[in-house]
Amino acid sequence: MPTINVQLFEGRTPEEKRAFVQAVTEATVKTLGASPESVDILIHEVKREHWATAGKLWSER
């Protein structure tokens, strides 16, 4: 049972998330041979002020 954890900046619409999890599920089924029912995807939405790259918060970019 593949469990996929994804961290994204918050703000995506339900439609965008729905399309994303469908595409990831299809790719997992195709590449790993898993059944769609066995694929779990957890989306963790993160505020831009809680994420930094190269010493800079994304909220300040």
The set of catalytic residues is 2
d(CA 60, CA 16): 25
Do the beta carbons of residue 47 and residue 8 sit within 8 Å? no
Residue pair 11/47 in contact by the 8 Å Cβ criterion: no
